[in-house]
Amino acid sequence: MLFQVLLFPPQASTNAAEVDLIYFFMIALCGFVTVAVVATMVYMAIRYRRTPTNLVGADIHGSTALEIFWSAVPFAIVMFIFAWGTSLYFKLSIPPANAMEVFVTGKQWMWKVQHMNGRREINNLHVPVGQPVKLTLASEDVIHSFFVPAFRVKADVIPGRYSTMWFQATTTGSYHLFCAEYCGTEHSRMIGEVTVMDPTDYQSWLETGNPAAAPAATGGGTAAAAGGEAQTPVQIGDALFHEKACVTCHLPQPGGVGPVLTHVPGSEVELSTGEKVIADDAYLRESILTPMAKVVKGYPPAMPTFAGQLSEEQVMSLIAYIKSLGGGPAPQAAATH
């Protein structure tokens, strides 16, 4: 569609075409209704205008058939939009299980990216083509919004909680990355690039900071990892786990003051209130920063808060470390002895 080529960014992710399709469907539907209403109005105004021969209007009463028609048809149309929109929303919200994870932190005024092998970059995100990528997003200060138009994805990044986003890039190349939420003086400069690479180039970039082939095309801040061996989030989390003395209460085997953490991530945890929750990233983050919010059944509310003592990147690293301990739900009874 010419209209689309002129006004729209390229469709560079697996979900982009369907997002555009529902958008164009809505525009076409609104256009059709607008034209139909205005045309009918103009026609009626002329056709039934007052003339010397019809000074008194016809006395018209209701029509049940018509009323059912104009209620049922719009209802069917909006329910169709609801069903389509919801199914697309779920597709956009739920990352595939095999998605590669990347941490992103927004702060005034830059995007800090941390890959699982420890490579970091600023205002730049390198990803492989054809591979689902899940971003876990946090903010160090105010609300930002991570927006990649070519992928048709946008997520508010809100202080105090995690946002997630996923996409699968379909074409190699370089795409705009914006902050789409006014966040202060340099909001308009909180921009960057998403670089989609062949998987082999990506691997090479991940390990060395340079793609195998093409020269580092993009200007601005590229891979800022280097400077000695890059520490992975798991290694950073491991060090913090000891430095912050988490290890004195969370022992590898039952008997500590706090629960064993080995199989906690992703499992169901029973709280002192009897409520059961899933230990996802948001739960782990909350339990580190505000431990009293959800106390695990059978344990004293003894953990100090770490709010204000850890940056979002450090919290993400701790979570990565805890996940690396065993992962997956407990065989049984590991978390609640």
Site of interaction with ligand CUA (CB under 6 A): 106, 109, 144, 179, 181-183, 187, 190
In the complex, the smallest distance separating the C-beta of residue 112 from ligand CUA, rounded to whole angstroms, is 12
Cβ proximity to ligand CUA, 110 vs 319, nearer residue: 110
- What SS3 class is residue 155? strand
Query: 298, 337 in Cβ contact below 8 A?
Result: yes
Cβ proximity to ligand CUA, 86 vs 188, nearer residue: 188
Cβ proximity to ligand CUA, 112 vs 152, nearer residue: 112
| Nearest one of 102, 122, 180 to 148, comparing CA atoms | 180
Beta-carbon contacts of 82 under 8 Å, excluding residues fewer than 6 positions away, are none
In whole angstroms, what is the distance from residue 247 CA to residue 303 CA? 12
Query: 143, 181 in Cβ contact below 8 A?
Result: yes
In whole angstroms, what is the distance from residue 333 CA to residue 256 CA? 14
In the complex, the smallest distance separating the C-beta of residue 137 from ligand CUA, rounded to whole angstroms, is 11
Query: 250, 262 in Cβ contact below 8 A?
Result: no
In the complex, the smallest distance separating the C-beta of residue 145 from ligand CUA, rounded to whole angstroms, is 7
Query: 86, 93 in Cβ contact below 8 A?
Result: no
In the complex, the smallest distance separating the C-beta of residue 74 from ligand CUA, rounded to whole angstroms, is 38
Cβ proximity to ligand CUA, 145 vs 262, nearer residue: 145
Cβ proximity to ligand CUA, 183 vs 261, nearer residue: 183
In the complex, the smallest distance separating the C-beta of residue 192 from ligand CUA, rounded to whole angstroms, is 11
CA 282 to chain centre: 13
Strands of the sheet with 153-157, listed across from one edge: 124-128, 192-197, 173-179, 144-148, 153-157
Cβ proximity to ligand CUA, 181 vs 201, nearer residue: 181
In whole angstroms, what is the distance from residue 101 CA to residue 114 CA? 9
In the complex, the smallest distance separating the C-beta of residue 168 from ligand CUA, rounded to whole angstroms, is 25
Cβ proximity to ligand CUA, 109 vs 167, nearer residue: 109
In the complex, the smallest distance separating the C-beta of residue 164 from ligand CUA, rounded to whole angstroms, is 18
In the complex, the smallest distance separating the C-beta of residue 298 from ligand CUA, rounded to whole angstroms, is 42
Cβ proximity to ligand CUA, 141 vs 280, nearer residue: 141
How does strand 132-139 pair with strand 192-197? unpaired
CA 131 vs CA 91, 156, 196: distances in Å: 15, 23, 10
Query: 170, 129 in Cβ contact below 8 A?
Result: yes
- Helix (H) / strand (E) element for 128: namely strand 124-128
